Structure 1
């Protein structure tokens, strides 16, 4: 059994999955996702069942928005998955937030700014540097980030993530059988 299989078996035990509600599945993922022993799961992205992947992307977005706002999301590893996060939001039925994220993506693209570039700028800092967005990214990117932050202020997840998570719970509940089948396939191979 490889590392991913071991992690998935711990993260979402198949024998318990059927009895769990969509909310319990999401809660279980959210509780364990950032533990070191699930690092492989977070890195595997496209190899994961789509329902699990969508839950992880939305949990990551919510976590980053809560801790560091949209700038933190874009500068962090999660920002590399902006397109996939938009698609996940669409699949769960959160079109309003997906549209805002698309506008943010468009703003970045039109101004030649990528999440990878933002991450590189942050990674170039020393561990103890105290800096600002202006110093880290320069005036052009700083202005783009300010416009992005204004757009992100309209995200429902910024104000009250309860509705967003209700959509995610319903999505997981509705697709639980598919999730189980994909997990079985991964665990058997």
Structure 2
């Protein structure tokens, strides 16, 4: 477990997700303390909105060269977010908050809305690709780009969309705060992604 240092009041930790061209290599990260949430502008980090998932199958990552076990869902999310050449700056609650310090957890929960609103983007991670999720995201993307009356959605697409909407992320209460506070949203399911704001799509190579 990384040696967490006490946070100054109003500060957060950010996670530097280190690049690697080998998708099977261990996930390596660094933590930095970031004190500037009270400034008026957004900041060059992305906040991750996701479901923690079961504790039964945790997997290791390395934070400041120390082993930390995270849920399988978070591990696969970081694997998909890791770039082959560039660092990525993230805020991820399970790692950036010292989960063994109840006082810190309470203080950081009070900052959650600000953390998500100051991020340059909120990444919604729905999980691995399965049950036609790629098809569902493409149908949603296409429908957003067309006049709804002119874009028929067939039964197969409807089935895939309904299955996607049945995922655990949509059952979380916290998502209302995380997405409502976001200035920009990227929705990811496995390697597929769509911009959460219609007509402003952008992809980030993995």
Query: Same fold judged by TM-score > 0.5?
Result: no
Higher strand share: 2
Higher helix share: 1
TM-score between both structures, scaled by the size of structure 2: 0.28
TM-score between both structures, scaled by the size of structure 1: 0.29
Larger relative CO (CA 8 A, sep 6+): 1 or 2? 1
